[in-house]
């Protein structure tokens, strides 16, 4: 049997030379078939088949002749000419065939006409080889898939094409097969454990329902879509909601589980940590992905969280399930942040030891606290137990400046000396002589410290040998603040200037002029210098050129304290306000004020990636949100605040806050308060 499509007379030959030759051979086939002029057999109206074989309608090789191309499309299976009664079966699905597109299209991939020939009882490829020897065919679809060698391939049936009862194929394939088109009902019933849903199971279906469904099935694809559009427009919102409840779950897919692990982790990396934790509750596989150690390592790096100390230990604790140490570190830090923000404030440890004297300087590193006082002593405290472990005695004047690294403490005094101490033993390792007035400021870098004095000079010392390496002279008034990065020294003085020094050559590289009053505070990050003055301004300088990049205006009084990280500067002022700046743009990002602002001068401040902690003469320590500038809460509020109680200094770590408090009129006892925000995750 054959199925062919005759080219239109107006179609011009096209394609490659090989295709033109194939078309020429196909024309020969048409001539042979047209010359036969065989008559069709009559058939029963129930589409009963006719036995194949040679006769007037056959050329002996199984090739059907005298067939018009408009009556039979180019089918993927071998098909025979049917009478009008049989063609009715095909007419109902003609449009559906056109939409779905059989793999045997009217035209080839290159636009040329294509012909397919099949016979009953033999493989189509064998038939092609046999007919090719007789020069009956030379042009076949080049990428057609070969049918199964174990009989007829069910894929040979075009989608939606049904075999008529009694036809040649019904005897070959058996009973009439249903349409292979998958319906939505098939999708619903294919899912295990899901019975067909009925909104109103007790309601009998309307008698016209089946006729309506049969009519719907007879329509073409576009007609069905049109009917659905009209049906949706006629529905009430509750009915549309029901349709969505039925349809949506069938198209939901766990795309994460379908992806390779690397791609799945890449997708999850875009989630915020909070959403990542929620995703871990979806299923076990998502839980495994959400515990990925590298994924949480990136989250920790984004938050500035350092490598957890128990990285290896926790891997061995749970062999059945791989918990991420980086996730543990992230969760721990999150709980610590929540303790700072809203956790219950535990009773602080109270460290007493300087009697009623003023605590002039404060250092905090690890679990060691060092406080200096105008009582000529320094005290070393344990932040864990609150005990005073050492009292450093030796200065003959008040201690006004200090630095600490590991167990080494350096102090500067009104007795014009610096001393180097061993904090573990309390021993004075070196006494550094050279200044002729009070040592008011210092900065430690590595094994070298730079000190500034009221004698208007700076000195660079080696704390291991106790030798003075260099003397920097040039200021004409007391040096009030100093910064040292190991290469350059930056100093601010009461002569209104900021100087940049090369300590090795003892030369002044730049004198930064612009302030109109004393310089009280400095910050230096190796590229930018930030200076705060009594003239109410803050200036940002370029260390290489000495140019003033920005003048930050907004404070109303002395800028007593500043801290710089990256391009973010936080400044505290005697006008009771705190401001957050971007030193690259010179813009004021936030002003920490409002109903809960300090009521007196800001004495000290410190900030992290999330919070700003400030202290004031009003006896309070306040916590602010760095990004929004909103007041979070009071961490310390002295009962004597407003009547003499003062918080002089604060120092904070990730989990602890140390406050030096007292008063100038005896209303508050001098002491250290240690607040703990740590968590115990097991």
pLDDT digits (tens, 9 = 90+) for 634-680: 999 999 888 889 999 999 999 999 999 999 888 899 999 999 999 87
pLDDT over 60 (residue 133): no
Q: What is the pLDDT of residue 193?
A: 52
475-520: pLDDT as tens digits:
999 999 999 999 999 999 999 999 999 999 999 999 999 999 999 9
Q: Provide the sign of the torsion angle of the four alpha carbons 591, 592, 593, 599, taken in this order.
A: negative
- Give per-residue burial for 104-113: e unless 16+ CB within 10 Å, then b: beeebeeebb
Give the span between the Cα atoms of 572 and 561, in whole angstroms.
5
Predicted TM-score (pTM) of this structure: 0.65
Question: Using 50, 70 and 90 to split pLDDT, how confident is the model at 205?
Answer: confident
Give the span between the Cα atoms of 307 and 89, in whole angstroms.
74
Give the span between the Cα atoms of 522 and 508, in whole angstroms.
17
What are the CA-CA distances from residue 663 to residues 74, 188, 666 (Å)?
102, 78, 6
pLDDT over 90 (residue 536): yes
Tokens coding 97: 């065939």
Task: Name the average pLDDT for the chain.
Answer: 77
Give the span between the Cα atoms of 274 and 289, in whole angstroms.
15
SS3 42: coil
Q: What is the pLDDT of residue 191?
A: 63
Question: Using 50, 70 and 90 to split pLDDT, how confident is the model at 197?
Answer: low
Q: Which residue has the tokens 């194939």?
A: 22
More confident: 376 or 89: 376
SS3 83: coil
pLDDT over 50 (residue 110): no
Question: Using 50, 70 and 90 to split pLDDT, how confident is the model at 199?
Answer: low
pLDDT over 80 (residue 276): yes
Query: CA angle, 203 as apex, 201 and 204 as ends, to 5°?
Result: 115
What 8-state DSSP symbol labels residue 137?
-
Which residue from 44, 77, 64 is spatially nearest to 166, judged by alpha carbons?
A: 44
pLDDT over 70 (residue 45): no
The answer to whether 554 and 582 have CB atoms below 8 angstroms apart is no
Q: What do you get for the CA distance between the two ends of the chain, in Å? A: 79
Q: What is the pLDDT of residue 66?
A: 40
pLDDT over 50 (residue 606): yes
Which residue from 429, 379, 384 is spatially nearest to 399, judged by alpha carbons?
A: 379
Q: What is the pLDDT of residue 611?
A: 95
Tokens coding 254: 């766990």
Give the span between the Cα atoms of 19 and 259, in whole angstroms.
43
Give the span between the Cα atoms of 252 and 346, in whole angstroms.
49
Strand pairing category for 519-524 and 528-533: antiparallel
For the chain, the 3-state helix, strand and coil shares in percent, each to the nearest 5, are: 25, 30, 45
209-257: pLDDT as tens digits:
889 999 999 999 999 999 999 999 999 999 999 888 888 877 777 888 8
Cβ atoms within 10 A of the Cβ of 235, count? 12
The answer to whether 556 and 579 have CB atoms below 8 angstroms apart is no
| Residue 331 host element (H or E) | helix 325-342
Question: Using 50, 70 and 90 to split pLDDT, how confident is the model at 192?
Answer: low
The answer to whether 578 and 592 have CB atoms below 8 angstroms apart is yes
Residue 632 has, within 13 A of its CA and on its CB side, a CA count of 23
391: Cβ contacts below 8 Å, ≥ 6 apart: 353, 377, 378, 379, 380, 426
More confident: 3 or 306: 306
331: Cβ contacts below 8 Å, ≥ 6 apart: 681
What are the CA-CA distances from residue 521 to residues 273, 333, 397, 482 (Å)?
38, 32, 24, 8
More confident: 112 or 389: 389
Give the length of the chain: 682
| Residue 624 host element (H or E) | strand 620-625
136-182: pLDDT as tens digits:
444 333 343 433 333 343 333 333 334 444 444 333 333 434 445 67
SS3 151: coil
423-445: pLDDT as tens digits:
999 999 999 999 999 999 999 99
Give the span between the Cα atoms of 147 and 145, in whole angstroms.
6
The answer to whether 383 and 350 have CB atoms below 8 angstroms apart is no
Tokens coding 679: 């968590």
Question: Using 50, 70 and 90 to split pLDDT, how confident is the model at 559?
Answer: very high
Give the span between the Cα atoms of 505 and 162, in whole angstroms.
99
State the maximum Cα–Cα separation within the chain, in Å, rounded to a whole number: 133
The answer to whether 401 and 361 have CB atoms below 8 angstroms apart is yes
pLDDT over 60 (residue 7): no
281-329: pLDDT as tens digits:
888 888 889 888 889 999 998 888 877 755 555 454 455 566 788 888 8
Q: What is the pLDDT of residue 258?
A: 87
């Amino acid at each position: 049997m054959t199925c062919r499509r005759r080219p239109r007379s107006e179609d011009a030959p096209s394609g490659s030379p090989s295709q033109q030759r194939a078309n020429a051979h196909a024309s020969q086939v048409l001539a042979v078939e047209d010359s036969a002029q065989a008559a069709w057999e009559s058939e029963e109206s129930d589409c009963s088949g006719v036995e194949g074989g040679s006769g007037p309608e056959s050329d002996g090789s199984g090739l059907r002749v005298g067939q018009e191309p408009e009556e039979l499309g180019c089918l993927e299976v071998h098909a025979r000419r049917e009478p009008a009664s049989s063609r009715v079966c095909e007419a109902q699905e003609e449009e559906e065939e056109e939409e779905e597109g059989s793999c045997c299209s009217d035209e080839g991939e290159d636009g040329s006409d294509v012909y397919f020939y099949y016979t009953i009882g033999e493989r189509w490829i064998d038939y092609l080889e046999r007919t090719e020897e007789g020069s009956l065919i030379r042009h076949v679809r080049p990428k057609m898939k070969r049918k199964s060698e174990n009989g007829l391939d069910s894929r040979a049936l075009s989608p939606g094409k049904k075999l008529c009862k009694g036809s040649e194929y019904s005897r070959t394939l058996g009973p009439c097969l249903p349409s292979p088109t998958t319906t939505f009902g098939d999708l619903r019933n294919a899912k295990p454990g899901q019975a067909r849903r009925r909104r109103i199971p007790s309601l009998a279906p309307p008698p016209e329902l089946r006729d309506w469904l049969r009519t719907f099935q007879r329509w073409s694809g576009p007609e069905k879509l049109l009917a659905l559009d009209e049906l949706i427009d006629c529905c009430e919102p509750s009915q549309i909601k029901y349709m969505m409840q039925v349809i949506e779950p069938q198209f939901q897919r766990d795309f994460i589980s379908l992806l390779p692990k690397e791609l799945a982790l890449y997708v999850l990396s875009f989630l915020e940590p909070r959403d990542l934790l929620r995703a871990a509750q979806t299923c076990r596989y998502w839980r495994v992905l959400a515990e990925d150690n590298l994924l949480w390592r990136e989250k920790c790096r984004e938050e500035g969280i350092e490598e957890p100390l128990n990285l290896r230990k926790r891997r061995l604790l749970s062999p059945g399930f791989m918990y991420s140490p980086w996730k543990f570190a992230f969760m721990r830090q999150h709980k610590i942040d929540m303790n700072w923000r809203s956790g219950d404030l535990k009773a602080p440890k109270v460290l007493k030891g300087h009697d009623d004297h003023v605590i002039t300087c404060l250092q905090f590193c690890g679990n060691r606290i060092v406080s200096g006082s105008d009582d000529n002593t320094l005290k070393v405290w344990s932040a864990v137990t609150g005990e005073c472990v050492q009292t450093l005695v030796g200065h003959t004047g008040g201690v006004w400046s200090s630095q600490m690294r590991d167990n080494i403490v350096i102090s500067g005094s009104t007795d014009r000396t610096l001393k180097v101490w061993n904090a573990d033993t309390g021993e004075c390792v070196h006494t550094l002589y050279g200044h002729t007035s009070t040592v008011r400021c210092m900065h430690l870098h590595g094994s070298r410290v730079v000190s500034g004095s009221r004698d208007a000079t700076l000195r660079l010392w080696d704390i291991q040998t106790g030798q003075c390496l260099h003397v920097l002279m040039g200021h004409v008034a007391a040096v009030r603040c100093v910064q040292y990065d190991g290469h350059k020294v930056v100093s601010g003085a009461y002569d209104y200037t900021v100087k940049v020094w090369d300590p090795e050559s003892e030369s002044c590289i730049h004198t930064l002029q612009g302030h109109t009053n004393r310089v009280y505070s400095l910050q230096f990050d190796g590229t930018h210098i930030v200076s705060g003055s009594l003239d109410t301004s803050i200036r940002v300088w370029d260390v290489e050129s000495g140019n003033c990049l920005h003048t930050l205006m907004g404070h109303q009084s002395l800028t007593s304290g500043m801290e710089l990280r990256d391009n973010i500067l936080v400044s505290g002022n005697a006008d009771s306000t705190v401001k957050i700046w971007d030193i690259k743009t010179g813009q004021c990002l936030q002003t920490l004020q409002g109903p809960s602002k300090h009521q007196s001068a800001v004495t000290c401040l410190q900030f992290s990636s999330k919070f700003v902690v400030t202290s004031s003469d009003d006896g309070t320590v306040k916590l602010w949100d760095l990004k929004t500038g909103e007041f979070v809460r009071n961490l310390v509020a002295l009962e004597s605040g407003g009547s003499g109680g003062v918080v002089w200094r604060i120092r904070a770590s990730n989990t602890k806050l140390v406050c030096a408090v007292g008063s100038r009129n005896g209303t508050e006892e001098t002491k250290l308060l240690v607040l703990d925000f740590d968590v115990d995750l097991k």
